[in-house]
A and B are shown apart, each in its own frame.
Chain A
């Protein structure tokens, strides 16, 4: 039995556990290896892995970046809309929580749903801009599943696929992507005309490659119509699922893309900020999840031509999947992304 000191850390579900420094190092090596094996990306350097180990193996309750290396925070889905109301939430985050960008959103975080209440959203956006100083963007999800039955008009590809009706499932997704791209563009143009600083396409690719196709198509259209609008494309997961399997964007197959490939398409379409997402394995430790996240996203941050705002919310970017986010783990995730990935924002 080891006599090595045990240090508190977290599991991916947020619960406390203790590991020795050696065990943390082994978890970091395993997390790096998991990313390298799946995404065929380079491993972290020895110095980067050592720094991550130092961050994780501290007994401190809180960890932070060095002075002068702070990054921009774009806070998608700003506020809970229960205590202060929507505009009050935005002001609270601006005045008390140090937000660099705030985001107005509808509780039904879907462009399809927002389209039906767009005049109200536009007025709310305009009112918010009269009261705030920091940039205000509008956000929602492409949410492609909403276009399939029973929620939408198109045949449900998730029902067709198990029946082997592949061609029909693919056609349904293509039709849904066209509708979603139209709705996203419609909402973006509407809020731009009301004074928005930007639009956030959050959890792009959540329903697979057709979902990402809708986001890319909309981004290109928005960039053409609103040249100065900020466009943030945030992803749903580390790899694009091939629910369709054959969709392409400018010659690149969308299914199976990893963050360093996703960011190039986002930039080419006209996005000004890209948000990679890496889902947490709730049965693995914080060191394992952070190592895997950093390894998957390092090529993205190195190769990107546009700012990268890492998704580090609940259950992504190494942050545990816990309703009450543990401050020790959240702060370590933030520091690791800034120190090692050199992200432009979170």
Chain B
């Protein structure tokens, strides 16, 4: 994206055009772009098929909040009722992401090796 003050730049781009990261499924689509070089329509279709949703659902935060919870893909935690200590998060969630998307996740592979699992 490029440099700039977080509210004027990053938050603005996120609200104007972003998929929402973990609020929705932007991080999952990003993984297909990074590791497979897939262009956006193909990457969205791939992830949508794996999650059993439509491509336009991938940037819909309420829908993806439920899907991420059901599949254990990690959720945003911000306090109050949105705390999920009994669900996968961070590295645990990335194990699930690798499995559900069917792609290798580098740090997950290294975790397996280091933990000898």
Contacts and interface: CB of A to CB of B under 8 A. Distances in A.
A287 B34 CA distance: 32
Kindly name the residue among B2, B14, B16, B107 whose own CB sees the greatest number of chain A CB atoms within 10 A: B2
A312 B13 contact: yes
Contact of A133 (B33, B37, B93): B93
Contacts of A335: 16-17
B15 A331 contact: yes
A10 to B, nearest CB: 12
Q: Chain B at the A interface: mostly helix, strand, loop or mixed?
A: helix
A75 interface: yes
Given A133-B90, A135-B30, A272 B74 contact: no
Contact of A344 (B12, B22, B39, B60): B39
Interface residues of A, number: 77
A171 to B, nearest CB: 34
B51 interface: no
Contacts of B35: 197, 228-230, 272
Interface in A291-346: 304-307, 309, 311-314, 316-317, 319, 323-327, 330-331, 334-335, 337-338, 343-346
B27 interface: yes
B67 interface: no
Interface in B6-48: 6-23, 26-27, 29-31, 33-40, 43
A228 B106 contact: yes
A167 interface: no
B8 A70 contact: no
B30 A331 contact: no
A186 to B, nearest CB: 18
Contacts of A317: 2
A195 interface: yes
8 smallest beta-carbon distances between A and B, as pairs: A313-B2, A230-B34, A325-B8, A68-B56, A195-B107, A100-B26, A98-B14, A134-B27
6 contacts: A64-B17, A72-B26, A98-B26, A100-B30, A134-B21, A307-B39
Given A71-B19, A99-B26, A197-B106, 4 more contacts: A63-B16, A96-B78, A98-B18, A304-B39
